Chains A and B, each alone.
Chain A
Amino acid sequence: MKIHEYQAKALMAERGIPVPEGTVATTVEEAVAAVRPLIERSGNPVVVVKSQIHAGGRGKGTFKEHPELGGVNVVLDGIEGGIEAAEAKVRELAEAMLGSTLVTIQTGPEGKLVSRLYIEQGIDIATELYLSVLLDRATSRNIVMASTEGGTEIEVVAHETPEKILREEIDPAFGLLDFQAASLAWGLGLDGDAHRNGVKFLKALSDAAVELDTDLVEINPLVVTTDGKVMALDGKMSFEANALYRHPDVVALRDETEEDPAESMAKEYGLSFIKLDGTIGCMVNGAGLAMATMDIIKFVGGEPANFLDVGGGADKDQISAAFKIITADPAVKGIFVNIFGGIMRCDTIAEGVVAAVTEVGLDVPLVVRLEGTNVELGKRIIDESGLNVVSAHDMKDGAVKIVELAK
Chain B
Amino acid sequence: MSVLVNADTKVLVQGMGKTGRFHTDKAIAYGTQMVGAVHPSRVGQTETFTGETDHSGVEGRDDTYEVDVPIFRSVEDAVDATGATASVVYVPPPFAADAIMEAAAVGVPLIICVTEGIPVGDMVVAKRFLEGRGVRLVGPNCPGVITPKECKIGIMPGYIHTPGRIGVVSRSGTLTYEAVHQLTLNGLGQTTAIGIGGDPVNGTNFVDCLDLFNRDDATEGVIMIGEIGGTAEEEAAEWITANMKKPVAGFIAGTSAPPGKRMGHAGAIISGGKGTAAAKIEALESAGVVVAPTPTDMGSAMMEALG
A residues with a Cβ closer than 8 A to B are 135, 137-138, 140-142, 154-155, 158, 171-173, 210, 213, 215, 240-243, 245-246, 272, 274, 276, 284-292, 294-299, 304, 307, 309, 312, 340-343, 371-373, 394-396, 399
Contacts and interface: CB of A to CB of B under 8 A. Distances in A.
Nearest to B19: A313
Nearest to B178: A340
Contact of A340 (B121, B174, B268): B174
Given A141-B124, A213-B120, A395-B178, A155 B273 contact: yes
Contact of A307 (B93, B118, B257): B257
Nearest to B175: A288
B256 interface: yes
A77 B138 CA distance: 61
A296 B295 contact: yes
Contact of B263 (A154, A246, A287): A287
A307 B120 contact: no
Interface string B128-161: 1000000000000001000000000001110110
B253 A304 contact: no
Nearest to A284: B174
A289 B160 contact: no
Contact of B94 (A137, A154, A155, A246): A246
A326 to B, nearest CB: 16
Contacts of B119: 213, 240, 242-243, 246
Given A138-B235, A289-B174, A309 B264 contact: yes
A113 B252 CA distance: 37
B110 interface: no
Interface string B163-175: 0000000111111
B231 A138 contact: yes
Contacts of A399: 294
A158 to B, nearest CB: 7
Contacts of A140: 123-124, 127-128, 201
A241 B120 CA distance: 9
Contacts of B124: 135, 140-142, 172
B155 A291 contact: no
Interface in B212-266: 225, 227-232, 235, 251, 253-258, 261-266
A172 B155 contact: no
B272 A155 contact: yes
Instruction: Please classify the interface of chain A as helix (H, G, I), strand (E, B), loop, or mixed, using the class held by over half of its residues.
Output: mixed
Contacts of B273: 155
B288 interface: no
10 contacts: A172-B125, A242-B118, A243-B122, A284-B174, A287-B265, A299-B255, A307-B261, A343-B155, A373-B157, A396-B296
B121 to A, nearest CB: 5
Contacts of B294: 292, 295-296, 299, 395-396, 399
Contacts of B117: 242
Contact of B120 (A243, A372, A395): A243
Chain B interface size range: 35 or more
A172 B128 contact: yes
A299 B174 contact: no
Contact of B268 (A276, A291, A298, A372): A291
Nearest to B93: A242
Interface string B273-307: 10001000000000000000111110000000000
Contact of A242 (B120, B127, B160, B230): B120
B200 A242 contact: no
Q: Which 9 A-B pairs have the closest CB atoms?
A: A288-B172, A287-B264, A286-B174, A243-B119, A289-B174, A291-B253, A288-B175, A396-B296, A342-B157
A173 B128 CA distance: 8
A342 B156 contact: yes
Nearest to B128: A172
A174 B4 CA distance: 33
A142 B277 CA distance: 24
A135 B296 contact: no
Nearest to B174: A286
Contacts of A342: 143, 155-157, 160, 173-174, 177
Contact of B173 (A137, A286, A298): A286
B31 interface: no
